C-alpha cells in the first residue's frame, strides 16, 4: 500500500493488511474477514506507544499524562492521522456504506493498520510508525477535543445573534446511524456537519461555521 511505502514499511502479509482495511459492510457482502479484531489489538498498541512517549519525555503526573494521551488517541485524532497519510482512500466499504465513510470507521481502520504492522514487523517498527505520525501533533500541542459549539456560541453572543442546530438528515441501520446537522445563525445556514451522533455532527457543523469569516 502506497501510504505504508511512503513511510518505509513493507508488509509481508498482504491479506492481513487487506483485512485491516475492510469494513464489516464489505465483509458481509463478500464473505471475508473485517478489521474489528485487529482494531482491538491496535487500540492497545496505540495506547502503549503514546503512554511510553509521554512517560519518557515529560515529567507530568499520572492524571495529566492520561488526559494528554486521551487527546491524541481519540476518534477525531485518529481520523486526522489516517487522512494525513492516505489510509482513508484505501478503506473497503460495502455498497450500503459506500457514501458513508465517517470518522469512526477511518479511526478504527487506523488502529487496525497499526495492529498489522505490529504483527508483521514487530513492536519497534510500529512504534516508529506511530511516533512519526503522532509526536509532531503532540509537540505542536494540537487540541483534538476543542468544544467548537461553545466557541461558536461565544462568537455569536458578542453580536447578539440567534443560533440553532437543525437535523438535516439521518441514515444507516439502527445500530449504525449517521447524522447530518446544520447550524443556523439568524435563520441562515452557516455550517454543516456529519457524525455518528447528533452531538458529534453539531460539533462538526460548529467547526464548519467557525471557519467562515462572517461568524467571527
> Catalytic site residues?
43, 111
In whole angstroms, what is the distance from residue 166 CA to residue 169 CA?
9
- The DSSP line for 61-111 is -HHHHHHHHHHHSSHHHHHHHHHHHTGGGG-B--TTTTT---HHHHHHHHH
Determine the 3-state secondary structure of 112 from DSSP.
Answer: helix
Please tell me what DSSP assigns to residue 144: S
Question: Among candidates 108, 93, 87, which has minimal Cα distance to 24?
Answer: 93
Amino acid at each position: 500500500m502506497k501510504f505504508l511505502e511512503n513511510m518505509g514499511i513493507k508488509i509481508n502479509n498482504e491479506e492481513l493488511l487487506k483485512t485491516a482495511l475492510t469494513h464489516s459492510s464489505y465483509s458481509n457482502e463478500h464473505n471475508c474477514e473485517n478489521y474489528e479484531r485487529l482494531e482491538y489489538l491496535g487500540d492497545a498498541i496505540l495506547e502503549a506507544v503514546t503512554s511510553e512517549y509521554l512517560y519518557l519525555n515529560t515529567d507530568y503526573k499520572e492524571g495529566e499524562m492520561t488526559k494528554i494521551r486521551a487527546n491524541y488517541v481519540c476518534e477525531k485524532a485518529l481520523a486526522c492521522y489516517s487522512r494525513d497519510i492516505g489510509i482513508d482512500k484505501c478503506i473497503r466499504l460495502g455498497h450500503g456504506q459506500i457514501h458513508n465513510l465517517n470518522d469512526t470507521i477511518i479511526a478504527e481502520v487506523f488502529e487496525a493498520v497499526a495492529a498489522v504492522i505490529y504483527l508483521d514487523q514487530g513492536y519497534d517498527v510500529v512504534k516508529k510508525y506511530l511516533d512519526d505520525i503522532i509526536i509532531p501533533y503532540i509537540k505542536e500541542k494540537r487540541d483534538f477535543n476543542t468544544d467548537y459549539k461553545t466557541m461558536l456560541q461565544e462568537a455569536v453572543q458578542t453580536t447578539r445573534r440567534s443560533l440553532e442546530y437543525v437535523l438535516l438528515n439521518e441514515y444507516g441501520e439502527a445500530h449504525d446511524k449517521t447524522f447530518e446537522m446544520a447550524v443556523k445563525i439568524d435563520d441562515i445556514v452557516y455550517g454543516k456537519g456529519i457524525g455518528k451522533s447528533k452531538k458529534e455532527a453539531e460539533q462538526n457543523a460548529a467547526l464548519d461555521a467557525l471557519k467562515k469569516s462572517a461568524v467571527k
